[in-house]
Structure formats: C-alpha cells, structure tokens
Amino acid sequence: MGTSVRVKEASVITPSEPTPRCVLALSALDSQLFLRFTIEYLLVYKPSPGLDQPNTTARLKSALAKALVPYYPFAGRVRPKPDGPGLEVVCAAQGAVFIEAFAVRYKANDFEKAPKTVAQWRPLLSLHVADVLKGSPPLVVQLTWLVDGAAAIAIGINHCLCDGIGSAEFLNHFAELANERLETSYMRIQKPVWERHLLKPPRGEETRVDSASHPEFSRVPDLCSFMNKVSTGLKPTSITFDKTRLNELKRVARSTSEDGEAARYTSFEVLAAHVWRSWARAIGFPGNQKLKLVFSINVRNRLKPGLPEGYYGNAFVLGCAETSARELEEGGVGFGSGLVKRAKERVGKEHVREVMEWVWERKGCPDPVGVLIVSQWSRLGLENIDVGLGKAWHVGPVCCDRYCLFLPVRDECVSVKVMVAVPTSAVDNYHLFMRSSHL
C-alpha cells in the first residue's frame, strides 16, 4: 500500500496577499472535545483529453494561495487557549500544505466501489494530521494524478475551524478561483464570516441542564464489549438508494409507524433509521443493549437571530435517537424513523444554548458505547466542486471506517450512497437487511 502513490513534491502555501496577524478565539461548538480531528474529503475527476498537468498543478496552488486570503485562519495554527477553556487560532500566515503525487495503479473507475480495506486510499492524503492541536497545518490538499490521466484531490481540514457546510463553502471558493473557464464577473464567491462570538455561552448565568434531554452526552451500560464488537475486522461497504428505493422506504416506514399512514418522514429520517436497524441486526447485539443513532443538525437557521450568511464555523449540534436493540428490530423502520424525527424536533434555541454550556463548562463529549454516527455529506454540494476538471466523478472519504456517511451520487440529485465499514462477519447480513426494507 505504501508504494501505491509516490509523492513528487510537498510545499507550504501561504496567502497570496498580506493577512491579519492576530489570535482568534474559537466558539464553544468549535472547541468540543470530539471535533479535534481532521475532516478528510476525496474528490475524483475523470481524465480530460489534452490536460496540461504541470499547468493544472500550478493553477491549483495559485488558487489555494488566493483562497487563503479571505480564509486566512486556514493558514494559521490551532491551539488550546493558555488562559481558559476553549481553543484559539494563531494567525500569522504560517501556511497550508499542498502535495502533488502520482498513483502507481489507481484509475478513476477503481472508486466506483467501496475500498477493499478501511485505509486503502490513505496514500491519497499522505500527510495525515493525528493531533490537530500540536502546531500542524489545519489544511492539507493533495493532488494525485492517476494512471489513466484522471485526478484525485484529497483535502484534510481541521474540524475545529469549520463544519461540513463551512468546509464546502471554502472548497467552492477555492474551486472558483482555480477554474479558468469561469469569468470573474460570474463568480459567486461568498464573503466568509468569522463571528465566533455568536456561539459563545453567556457568562455569569447559572443554567440547569436536564441530562435526560441530552442523551447524546449520556453513557449507556456496555453489555457486549461494544467497541470490540463494532471496530474489529472491519470491511467497507457501499450501497446506493435511488428515488424508487427511498420512496419504498417511506412507504414501509408509514406502515410500521405508530402514527400509521398519517406519518410523514424525510428521506434522511427513513434512510438513517433503516441503516441503523440493519447495522444493529447484522452485528447482533443483545436485545437489552441500549443503542444510539447520533447525527448532526445544522442550527444556522434554528437560532434567533440566525447566523449570518457565510458563517463557516461549526454550527451544528448532535441529534440523538435512543432505544434498545430489541425495540429497534421489532419496531420496524417506522419506529426508528419516528425516533430520528423526534430527535430533530427537540433542537431549538434553548437546546443549542444548553449544548454550548454543556461542552464549555462540563467538557461534555459523546461516549462511543452503543453509538452509530451518521454524517450527511450528500447535501453539501461536494459533487459540484469544479476546479477546471469538470464535476467530481466520485465523492467520498479518504478512509472508510465505522462512521456511516451519506454520499452524493453523480448526476442523481435524489440518490444517496451509504458508506460504512462493518465487521466482516456481519457484511452479508448487513447487505441482506439493507436491500430488504420489508424484513
């Protein structure tokens, strides 16, 4: 695996113009303990006849330098605050990292299916930042030329600086600067907004937070060596749900819902419930094992007033559906969909304020026991990011692990690709249950 990609050059890219030298405080939501890792995207582009590779590389490096002017914190370094809780960014134009590499054997079509192993595609982002608070660059971009002339662009972004929506806004900005086919007058570059003080918990107020209303931070008893059960011998899987299959899931959810045919569920609610139930049944937890489905909920428009357009910091809280393995299996897709729907409905302004206090004062962090995490990348628009190579042929993670991702499907805006790694012993049953929504 180590020889599947050969690095030609790694360089530090600094902003193309002078940027403020300052220290910026991150918000309570940015500073959460469980966000101290790197978001890693992988975008693959089909071969372009007559493509000038050296010119494309130079163009991407130049665009990155320009993008780092308005997004100058991405050229800084994240560290713990020396005089209190939370994190901050030291902005001194230290720079991001750009890597150019060449694949020895990968072609664009190799990304049609899930990788054979969890870390098979790791060489496509060869600089993996394990600790985002020890002076590492918060942004790494690797351009890898594949053997058929296609291109893979992997991006690693420090999650403390932004969420999925924020990272997608940055990548669109970067892409528009890199795309020579776009005329400047038609570029829809949105001004990035920092304003992290808007998500800072109020000081001097005693807030009584009911732990029962925040199951995402509570612990459940481990009745089955849960982490060993879900993290050992993982095999990546990928299953696509088109419009027909999603509508079928909604029909099944209504027929098995406590509200019957009156129930109305979104595609996310039914698909998340179906994946959760299929995953749990395939692995085979004890019936009384408490299980949670955890997923992000964008709060930009759930706050009053809402956050300004262009805010690219972490602006989400965790929704959490919880039940026993037995109830999840016996209740059907409708039961699980109802749990997901109600978890979303709990999130309002007061809920967000409680979360900010919980993570700021109590250092609240989700416990992994009993948890399946679902992250919805299918709504970020990553498939439309065009750096001058056309729209992405494949969008996904650099590494496929036990966290479930909903991914976009090219040219099919309604379809969703579900990618998650499950224990090898559970793969066949997982596929069976996922394809049989009526079981």
Average pLDDT (334-361) is 91
Residues 219 and 192 reside in one and the same domain:
no
Which among 163, 351, 386, 394 is annotated as catalytic?
386
Which position among 159, 214, 274, 351 bears the catalytic label? 159
Q: What is the pLDDT of residues 221-238, one digit of tens each?
A: 999 999 999 999 999 999
How many structural domains is the chain composed of?
A: 2
Print the domain residue range for 110.
Answer: 5-199
Asked if residue 348 belongs to a domain, the reply is yes
SS3 400: coil
Residues 270 and 334 in one domain: yes
Q: Which pTM does this prediction carry?
A: 0.94
Domain membership flag for residue 377: yes
**299, pLDDT greater than 90:** yes
pLDDT tens digits, one per residue of 19-70: 999 999 999 999 999 999 999 999 999 998 889 999 999 999 999 999 999 9
Q: Are residues 182 and 236 in the same domain?
A: no
**pLDDT score of 309 more than 60:** yes
Examine the residue annotation and report whether 274 is marked as an active-site residue of this protein.
no
> Nearest-5° angle of CA 277, CA 415, CA 111?
90
Whether 204 is in a domain gets the answer no
Q: What is the pLDDT of residues 109-140, one digit of tens each?
A: 999 999 999 999 999 999 988 888 989 999 99
Read off the pLDDT of residues 163-183 as tens digits, 9 standing for 90 and up: 999 999 999 999 999 997 765
pLDDT value, residue 200: 80
CATH assignment at residue 147 = 3.30.559.10
| 386 flagged as catalytic | yes
Say yes or no: 64 and 120 in one domain.
Answer: yes
Q: Which pairs with CB-CB distance under 8 Å and at least 24 residues apart come from 130-135?
A: 131/36, 132/36, 132/37, 132/38, 132/78, 132/158, 132/159, 132/160, 133/36, 133/78, 133/79, 133/80, 133/87, 135/77, 135/79
Task: Give the Cα separation of 395 and 389 in Å (integer).
Answer: 14
Amino acid at 117: T
Residue 73 has pLDDT above 50, yes or no: yes
